[in-house]
Structures are given as structure tokens and as C-alpha cells.
Structure 1
Amino acid sequence: MPILDAVLLFLAGFLSGAVNAVAGGGTFITFGAMTLAGLPPIVANATSSVTQFPGYITSTLAYWHDIKHFWRGALLLSLISALGALSGALILLGLDNPSFRALVPWLLLAATALFAAGPWLKPAPKPEHEAAVGSLIGSLAQFATAVYGGFFGAGMGVMMLATLGLTQSGDYHRLNALKNMLAVVIAAVAILVFVSGGVIAWLQAIIMIPGGALGGYAGVWIARRVPQNAVRGFVIAVGLFLAFYYFDKG
């Protein structure tokens, strides 16, 4: 691997970890960096899932106090999420790179719009209730979100928080904890499928993961000095750049 590509990937991992800690949206950066480094879009997408996975775990552990009160009730949603992620990942592996490349700019535009709308999609606080499994509609919404997460993943957290807010009970922190728990399930299943399909670029992932860890730590420093709206604007700009890059390449 050229040294410049290695530096690009490490810095992308660092930026991804930092923006995830402040505003979310790090997937845009990891996916974009691997694309610019020459990886095929399916491989870049699958490898990005690996690089984001440690962050999902640490975010879940940070909410462990909340999760231990409702995890048994969330097992059904976890199973639904696993089935949805399996479906989405298998759909991805069923495509060839040219077919997926044609979808990527539209997926990026949709994910960028979703991310931009994120502040308005946060659920209203309902502190008197605990998170529950919810209705059939909630289960179907979670399945659809998990299919998307297994297939592409960018913007999945915003989408899931929005659907959980509409279909589940609980205050914001409980819903966010549930979202993080289900994101771990979705990512784990998708990664297992991608590994079995041989579409993970392990060298690139190994370079980016330490950068992501350092970026997550630095995100605390950034959050105290850079307005969240500025970070969100940066992520939206990256998403739009990547979308138009793929439109141009198409």
C-alpha cells in the first residue's frame, strides 16, 4: 500500500472517530476515504462496517446502566434486527460492484438528507416510561432499518433513533441506549456475512481502527471547542461531495 494511502486512511479513521463523538456521521468519512484510496464500493462499504464496530460497542457500554434494565424486553427487537441485517448484507453480496456503484450516489444523498434532518428527528422526552418492545409496526420499522443497516449503514443511527422514538416508549437516553444495543447486533451480523463473503479489506481496516480510537478520544476536546453544527456541516459536505463524486464517475 502506498504510504500516502495509509496516511489518508489513518486520518480518515481519526476524523471518523472524532465526528462520531461530537455529532455522528463517521461512516461517510471512512467509506469516502476507502473509495478515494481505490477500493471497490462493496469492499469499502463492508470494511467501513468493521471500522465503525468498536465505536458501537463502546457507545453501548456507556449506556450499560440503562440497558441492564430493559435488555430482556429488547431481545425480540434484537432478533428482528439480526434478521434484517442478514437480509441487507446478503442483498449487498448479491450485487456486483457496477450495480452497487450505480446505487451509491442515491444512497449517499438519502443518508446525507437523513443526517441533516437528524436534530429534528430526535424523539421527544418521555421520562415517565421505560423502553419497551412495542407494536407490530415498531417491529416492522426496526426490520426495515436493520435491512438498510446491513446493506449500507450510513445514517442508520439517525434513522433508528427516529423510528424507535415513534414506535417505542422511553425517554431519549433509554431510546438512544436501545439504538446503540441494536446497532451492535446489526453491525455484528453484517460483518459476519461480509467476512464469509471475503469482502473485507483487513489491512485498510487495521490502519483505520486505531485512528478511530484516537479520534474518539480527541472528540471530547473537539466538542468543547467546535460547535456541533459546524461538525455536522462538515459531515454533510462530505456526504454531498461523495454523492456527486459517484454521480460523476457513473
Structure 2
Amino acid sequence: MPILDAVLLFLTGFLSGAVNAVAGGGTFITFGAMTLAGLPPIVANATSSVTQFPGYITSTLAYWHDIKHFWRGALLLSLISAFGALSGALILLGLDNPSFRALVPWLLLAATALFAAGPWLKPAPKPEHEAAVGSLVGSLAQFATAVYGGFFGAGMGVMMLATLGLTQSGDYHRLNALKNMLAVVIAAVAILVFVSGGVIAWLQAIIMIPGGALGGYAGVWIARRVPQNAVRGFVIAVGLFLAFYYFDKG
């Protein structure tokens, strides 16, 4: 790989980590960079899951104090998430690149719209008590979200936080902690499927992961100086650009 490409991938990973720390939506950047660099869309999507995974883990650890209070009850949703992610990842591997490429612009438009609506989809604060899990509606909603997460993933966090807010009890921080925990499960299962399917571009992933880690750390500094709406606007612009890029290529 040319040194310039490696530097650009590292910087993309850094930008993705910073954006995730400030407003979310880093998947748009990693997926876009790898597709524009020439990787097939299925490989770019699978590799993006790998590059985002460390961030899911650190976000979960940051909420460990909250998770300790409801992790036993959340095991059911974790199991449901694992089956959903497995289904979504297997559906992805069942497609060829031309078929997935035809879906990508529509998926990007939907994910961008979901991301743009994120501030209005956040659950309202509720009285603090243990987050209830396991309702039928909540289980079905989480399964559908996990299928989407295993298949594509962009916008999954916003979607999951919205559905958890509608179907589970608990204050915002507990719901966000539950979302982060389930995101780890979804990503881990999807990555195992993608690894077994041989669709991970490991060199690109290894270059981008440390950039993402540094970007996540720098995101705290950025968050204090750059308005969140400006970062969200940038992510939405990236999503729309990628969507129309794929429409044009199709």
C-alpha cells in the first residue's frame, strides 16, 4: 500500500473517532473512505465494523457503573441482539457486490435521515430505576435493529437508542448504557461472521483502528470547541455525498 494511502486511512480513522466522540456517525466516514479508496462495498462495510468495534467497547466500559445494576436482565436482549446480528450479517454475505452496491445509496439515505433526526429521537428522561427489559415489543424492536446492525450498521446507535426509549424503562444514561452494551454484542457477532466469510480488509483496518482510538480521545477536546450541530452537519453532508455518489455509480 502506498504511504499516502496509509496516511489518509489513518487520518480517516482519526476523524471517525473524533466524530463519534462528539456527535456519532463515524461509520459514514470509515465506510466512505474505504469505498472511495476502491474496496468493494461489502468489504468496506465489514471492515468498517472492525474499525468501529474498539469504540463500542470503550463506550460500554465508560458506563460500567450503570451496567452493573441491570446486566442480568439485559442478557435476554443481548441474546436477541446476537441472533439478529447473525441474521443480518449472513444476509449481507449472501449478496454479491453488485446487489449490495444497488442497496447502498438507499441504505445511506435512510441512515443519514435517521442520523439527522437523532436529536428528536432521543428518549425523554424518566424516573431513575432499573431498566426493564424483555417485553415482547421491545424484543422484536431490538431484533429488527440488530438485523440492520449486522447487515449495514450506519445509524444503528441512533435507531437503537430510539427503540429502547420507546420500549424500555430507565433514565437516559441507563438506556444509553444498555445501547452501548448491545452494540458490542451486535458488532462482535457480525465481525465473527465477516471474518469467517473472508471479507475483512485487515491491512486497512489495522491502519485505521489506532487513528480511531486517538480521534476518540481528541474528540473530548474538539467537543469543547466545535458546536455539535456543526459536526452533525458535516456527517450528514458526508452521508448525502456518499448516497449520491453511489446513485451516480449505479
Query: 1:134 Cα deviation (Å)?
Result: 3.9
TM-score by length of 2: 0.99
What is the RMSD computed on CA atoms of the aligned residues? 0.6
Work out the CA distance in 2 between the residues paired with 1:72 and 1:129: 15
Q: Is the 8 A contact 2:106 2:243 kept in 1?
A: yes
TM-aligned CA deviation for residue 198 of structure 1:
0.2
Q: Is the CA contact 2:86–2:189 (under 8 Å) kept in the aligned structure 1? A: yes
* Displacement after TM superposition at 1:183 (Å): 0.1
Task: Give the unaligned 5+ runs of structure 1.
Answer: none
Task: Tell me, yes or no, if the aligned pair for 2:129 and 2:170 is still in contact at 8 Å.
Answer: yes
Report deviation, 1:129: 2.7
For residues 169 and 162 of structure 1, the distance between their equivalents in structure 2, rounded to whole angstroms, comes to: 12
- 1:115-141 C-alpha deviation (Å, 9 max, x unpaired): 000000000001233211141010000
> How far off is 1:232 after superposition?
0.3
What is the total number of aligned residue pairs between the two structures? 250
1:56 is matched with which residue? 56
Q: Which runs of 4+ in 1 moved over 6 A?
A: none
**Who is 2:219 aligned against?**
219
Q: Secondary structure of the residue that 1:231 maps to in structure 2?
A: helix
Is contact 1:134-1:169 (8 Å) kept? no
User: What's the CA shift for 1:25?
Assistant: 0.2
Shift of 1:152: 0.1
2:73 counterpart SS class: coil
What corresponds to 1:16 in structure 2?
16
> Residues 134 and 167 of structure 1 are in contact (CA less than 8 Å); yes or no, is this contact kept in structure 2?
no
Per-residue deviation, 1:6: 1.2
Are the counterparts in 1 of residues 76 and 134 from structure 2 also a CA contact under 8 Å? no
> Contact (CA 8 Å) 2:85, 2:189: kept in 1 or not?
yes
State the distance in 1 between where 2:81 and 2:134 align.
Answer: 14
Structure 2 CA distance, aligned partners of 1:136 and 1:103?
30
Q: For 2:115 and 2:134, how far apart are their aligned partners in 1? A: 25
How far apart, in 1, do the equivalents of 2:69 and 2:43 lie?
38
- Inter-partner Cα distance in structure 2 for 1:183 and 1:127: 24
SS at match of 2:71: coil
1:174 CA displacement: 0.1
